[in-house]
């Protein structure tokens, strides 16, 4: 048994799609969420900046007594985590590995599409991980830089989003993919739009469900599950949290009346890790 909380972070609110899956898979686990809403997006920044931001996110979360930290952000997982694993006092998990494994198992025709931020696509992280699982599988990645601002601003259901999504997904459809990795944790909010465009023949892979199953196995196998007291959820943001209740409940698909606090993330640096 381990009643310490799980720490989760993202560049903004996208990581809440991972939190939603964790809450479902592990309803007794308490969670501390940090969303770097003051510095979102990460995906268009340089690798150096993404690594620096990720280090400060982890430094902040390490001020809590946690049992593990999850980078609920495709960009931080793909670009920063390979440089940081040794810097964290508790197990540090990203979303890329579990998601790549699931996708490699799911594909029937060996053609997987990946959509993600410019940074994630530049890193080629998903394709490299999939190649390790199955060298026969081909992977085509496309950056969708406009998805994150559309989602963060509540445009998930807008016709403009559908038009942009059609444009982004066209090259993947031409490749005849049968599996599509939603390589950014904001994208599950657009699942219905994306599924409508790619059709039911293409299976969408949500990093949140993959990582929630991975965390569940890890905690179960190592006897680290919480003992069954009521779970608590705390949220920290690096910008004004006044819109959080409205947007956050959209991501979590439940109303949020929980604690939301603002944190000055710039004061947490590599030196405070």
Distance CA 167, CA 143 (A): 11
Return the percent helix, strand and coil in the chain, to nearest 5: 50, 15, 35
> Judged by CB under 6 A, does residue 14 bind ligand DGL?
yes
Give the whole-angstrom CA distance, residue 248 versus residue 144. 22
The reply to whether 79 sits near ligand DGL by the rule CB under 6 A is no
Q: Is 260 in the site for ligand DGL (CB under 6 A)?
A: no
Residue choice 103, 130, 184, 224 for contact with ligand DGL (CB under 6 A):
184
Coil, strand or helix: which one is 158?
coil
> Rounded distance, CA 55 to CA 245, Å?
27
From 34-42, 102-110, 129-137, 153-161, span contacting ligand DGL (CB under 6 A): 34-42
* Contact flag: residue 35 with ligand DGL (CB under 6 A): no
Decide if 184 is catalytic.
yes
Q: Which of 117, 123, 203, 206 binds ligand DGL (CB under 6 A)?
A: 117
Cβ(25)–Cβ(214) below 8 Å: no
144 binds ligand DGL (CB under 6 A): no
The residue among 194, 186, 169 whose CA lies nearest residue 247 is 186
Size of the site for ligand DGL (CB under 6 A): 17
Sheet strands (E) in 11-149: 31-35, 66-71, 92-93, 111-116, 138-143
Q: Which of 42, 233, 244, 251 binds ligand DGL (CB under 6 A)?
A: 42
Could you tell me if 57 and 266 are in contact, meaning their C-beta atoms sit under 8 angstroms apart?
no
Instruction: Supply the DSSP symbol for 111.
Output: E
Residue 139 annotated among the catalytic residues of the structure: no
Least separation in angstroms between CB 41 and ligand DGL:
3
User: Out of 37, 123, 141, 185, which residue is the one contacting ligand DGL (CB under 6 A)?
Assistant: 185
C-beta closer to ligand DGL: residue 10 or 29: 10
| Interaction between residue 20 and ligand DGL (CB under 6 A) | no
What amino acid positions are annotated as catalytic residues?
Answer: 73, 184
Enumerate binding residues for ligand DGL (CB under 6 A): 10-12, 14, 40-43, 73-75, 117, 120, 148, 184-186
């Amino acid at each position: 048994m381990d009643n310490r909380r799980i720490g989760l972070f993202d560049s903004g609110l996208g990581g809440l799609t991972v939190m939603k899956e964790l809450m479902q898979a592990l309803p007794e686990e308490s969670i501390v969420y940090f969303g770097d809403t003051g510095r979102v997006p990460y995906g268009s920044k340089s690798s150096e900046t993404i690594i620096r931001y990720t280090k400060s996110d982890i430094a902040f979360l390490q001020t809590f007594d946690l049992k593990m930290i999850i980078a609920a952000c495709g960009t931080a997982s793909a670009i920063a985590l390979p440089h940081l694993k040794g810097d964290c006092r508790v197990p540090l998990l990203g979303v890329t590995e579990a998601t790549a494994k699931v996708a490699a198992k799911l594909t029937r025709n060996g053609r997987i599409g990946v959509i993600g931020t410019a940074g994630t696509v530049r890193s080629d992280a998903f394709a490299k991980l999939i190649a390790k699982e199955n060298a026969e599988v081909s992977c085509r990645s496309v950056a969708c830089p406009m998805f994150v601002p559309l989602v963060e601003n509540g445009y998930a259901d807008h016709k403009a989003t559908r038009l942009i999504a059609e444009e982004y997904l066209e090259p993947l459809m031409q490749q005849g993919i049968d599996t599509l990795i939603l390589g950014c944790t904001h994208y599950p909010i657009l699942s219905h739009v994306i599924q409508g465009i790619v059709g039911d023949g293409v299976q969408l892979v949500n990093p949140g469900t993959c990582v929630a199953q991975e965390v569940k196995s890890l905690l179960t196998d190592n006897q680290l599950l919480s003992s069954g007291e009521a779970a608590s959820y705390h949220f920290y943001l690096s910008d004004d949290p006044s819109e959080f209740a409205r947007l956050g409940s959209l991501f979590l698909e439940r109303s949020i009346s929980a604690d939301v606090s603002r944190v000055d993330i710039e004061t947490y640096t590599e030196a405070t890790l």
